[in-house]
């Protein structure tokens, strides 16, 4: 996995959000090129036709293209998935990851996503761009850790991100969930397909074990 550091792109245009070292870079650029061409072609009618005719096809094509890429996790980077109300716990997991030699990706620390939240783009286009950025960061992470509290039950993103990042075998040690006191995997059985961690110490042990197993840096 290329050593792409998303924090190096705070003040750049969205078309330069990723560089050539990022997995999926070529597919990202091609998707944006097609989007710009379609916006120009549709002109004033783009809003009515964009969501169904362009965005769905573009995003599906992007997922298909990146899904054919082979991952080589030379860089230990964990994607931290959380419900919006659990950002404090997510930040703590990020700190643990850094302390164990892992890089991390966390949405609230991503300058591009923060910028997207302030734009006046139509909702469908904004959602498309946010989902595409999330997909690129999932692709460039070797692991995923979901934050499980009573709030996570209502999240639509957490199960999506867990499933997208998890490797294809039935059980994956590269996917894990941290459970707050009172939260249990029985509320979402799919979490049993990854590692279930019930303390900060078990998060540390999981990260140490994975870093040694994969020999990622």
Is 38 inside any structural domain? no
CA angle in degrees (0–180, nearest 5) for 156-161-163: 105
Output the pTM of the full model: 0.84
Q: DSSP E strands: which ranges in the chain?
A: 77-81, 103-105, 143-148, 175-179, 195-197
Is 91 inside any structural domain? yes
Is 166 inside any structural domain? yes
Is 111 inside any structural domain? yes
Please report which confidence band the pLDDT of residue 54 belongs to, taking 50, 70 and 90 as the band edges. confident
Give the chain's domain count.
Answer: 1
Is 82 inside any structural domain? yes
- pLDDT one-digit tens code per residue, 116-169: 877 887 788 888 888 898 888 888 888 999 999 988 776 766 666 766 655 555
Total residues found in the chain within this entry = 217
Is 115 inside any structural domain? yes
Structural domain of residue 111, as residue ranges?
77-122+141-214
Output the average pLDDT for the chain: 81
Note the pLDDT of residue 2: 45
Note the pLDDT of residue 105: 93
Note the pLDDT of residue 38: 78
The CATH number linked to 192 is 3.40.50.450
First to last CA, the chain: 10
Is 17 inside any structural domain? no
Is 65 inside any structural domain? no
């Amino acid at each position: 996995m290329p050593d792409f550091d998303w924090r190096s792109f705070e003040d750049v245009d969205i078309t330069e959000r990723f560089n050539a070292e990022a997995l999926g870079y070529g597919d990202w650029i091609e998707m944006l090129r097609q989007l710009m061409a379609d916006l120009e072609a549709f002109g004033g009618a783009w809003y009515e036709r964009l969501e169904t005719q362009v965005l769905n096809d573009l995003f599906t094509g992007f997922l298909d293209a990146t899904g054919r890429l082979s991952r080589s996790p030379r860089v230990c980077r964990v994607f931290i998935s959380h419900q919006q109300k659990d950002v404090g716990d997510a930040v703590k997991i990020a700190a643990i990851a850094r302390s164990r030699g892992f890089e991390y990706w966390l949405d609230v620390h991503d300058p591009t996503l923060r910028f997207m939240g302030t734009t006046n783009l139509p909702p469908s286009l904004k959602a498309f761009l946010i989902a595409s950025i999330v997909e690129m960061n999932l692709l460039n992470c070797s692991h995923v850790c979901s934050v499980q509290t009573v709030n996570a039950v209502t999240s639509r993103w957490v199960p999506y991100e867990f499933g997208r990042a998890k490797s294809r075998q039935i059980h994956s040690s590269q996917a894990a969930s941290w459970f707050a006191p009172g939260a249990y995997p029985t509320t979402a059985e799919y979490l049993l397909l990854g590692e279930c961690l019930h303390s900060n110490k078990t998060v540390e042990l999981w990260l140490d074990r994975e870093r040694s197993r994969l020999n990622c840096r």
